[in-house]
Structure 1
Amino acid sequence: MSTLNTQYECDGCGACCRSKLVDIYEIDILRNPRIAEQMIPLREPGFDGEIGYLNCVSNGGCVFLRDDNRCGIYTTRPSVCVLYEAGSDDCQQCRLDAGISRLEPMSLTKA
């Protein structure tokens, strides 16, 4: 479980990119129109203005996930991905579900 004083750094395991439904909002499409080509649109606007989603659960993961487990649209990735926290309870559960050990906190040394 992450705490306020514990910091984690993503190690690029890709577990979250293979096991989530990623909510897509209008701002995401404005940043990267390719997202609209890949998302599954909602018939009715969703919660908080969601207009669609990327299904990262099927077909081995997010369509934008590269072979090296890095995001192919990192600088313009969806807002939900930007806000996703390495080491969060959800991150740790995705790792465990994928058979990957828990992410360890970063070592913080005093200067």
Structure 2
Amino acid sequence: MSSSSGFERRFACTGCGKCCTGRGSYVIEVSRREQRRIQRFLGIGRDWLRRRYVFRFDDERESVRMHANGDCVFLEEGKRCRIYAVRPAQCRTYPFWPELETRQAWRAEARRCEGILLGKSKITVRAE
């Protein structure tokens, strides 16, 4: 594909965990439905989930908490996700997010994520 008609986005997760670390004020939006799945998966109640793992970041939305260093609270030793099987949609769809659709944003994220530019799956994005 020529650069004048768009660009290809490739991604293959390497399991490095960098997408879950050091993002600072970044939010991982988590719906009520996703929260219920996490509760069942962890075997905890709603109050405990909200106290330990979730915070409200505006009038209507909630996010997974981050540690002071910016790491997700569900990231365990070895950079593995404790709730991988029931992780929120935002985590499942990384890095194919709207804010990473431009060539410039994709390249910037590739400096952070070793899995970007790898893999056989391609998504073609129209020219900017």
TM range (shorter): 0.5 to 0.7
Q: Write the distance in 2 (CA, Å) between the matches of 1:102 and 1:14.
A: 10
1:104 maps onto 2:117 in alignment: yes
For structure 2, which runs of at least 5 residues remain unmatched after alignment?
Answer: 1-6, 122-128
TM-score normalized by structure 1?
Answer: 0.64
TM-score normalized by structure 2?
Answer: 0.57
Deviation at 1:94, TM superposition (A): 4.6
> CA RMSD for the aligned pairs?
3.3
1:80 maps onto 2:90 in alignment: yes
1:39 maps onto 2:49 in alignment: no
Identity of aligned residues (%): 22
1:62 is matched with 72
Q: How many residues align?
A: 98
Q: Which amino acid aligns with 2:87?
A: R
Q: Write the distance in 2 (CA, Å) between the matches of 1:23 and 1:58.
A: 18
For structure 1, which runs of at least 5 residues remain unmatched after alignment?
Answer: none
Structure label with greater radius of gyration = 2
Higher normalized strand content (fraction of residues): 2
> What SS does the aligned partner of 1:16 have?
helix
Deviation at 1:82, TM superposition (A): 1.4
2:12 is matched with 9
Q: Write the distance in 2 (CA, Å) between the matches of 1:81 and 1:71.
A: 10
> What SS does the aligned partner of 2:28 have?
strand
Deviation at 1:62, TM superposition (A): 0.6
